[in-house]
Amino acid sequence: MVFFKQNPAPSKSFPLERTDAEWRASLAPEAYRVLRQHGTERPGTSPLNHEKRPGRFVCAGCGQALFDAATKYESGTGWPSFYAPLEDAVGTQVDRALFMVRTEVHCANCGGHLGHVFPDGPPPTGLRYCMNGAAMSFESADKP
């Protein structure tokens, strides 16, 4: 039995749009569940939790650069956390699922669900962008 409704995709249009069938064909099952169905991965399961190299975290759906690795920190939550996104990389909307009000974070290019932002992060922003690793991939600064 489902007691809450998952958030729909953000209602605005985005530069990159695909049909549901195209998203299913282009994404791994867990990435599809998180990015397109607003799922959440289990805490502590993402290899990106341990990523410490210089580089950037990009959307697993479209490749849009989202976060510089220099803004990543260990929040103790079990999800990759950042104190600031790259400029114009993400958007937000109100999330009323799970009987609470939160701020959902999505990719500004494709609208994919990334996670949530909370006001309990470190300086300089005081924000914690708590992201699903399944929604992102990592590009090392050492990449040729």
Decide: 125 and 71 in contact? Cβ < 8 Å: no
Structure token digits, residue 48: 């990106």
- The model's pTM is 0.87
pLDDT > 60? residue 14: yes
Residues with a catalytic annotation lie at 130
Mean model confidence pLDDT for the chain: 89
Spell out the domain ranges in the chain. Answer: 20-42+51-140
Residues 137, 102: Cα–Cα separation, whole Å: 24
Q: Which CATH architecture best describes the domain 20-42+51-140?
A: Beta Complex (2.170)
Quickly state the pLDDT bin for 1 (edges 50, 70, 90): very low
Decide: 27 and 60 in contact? Cβ < 8 Å: yes
- pLDDT of 94 reads 81
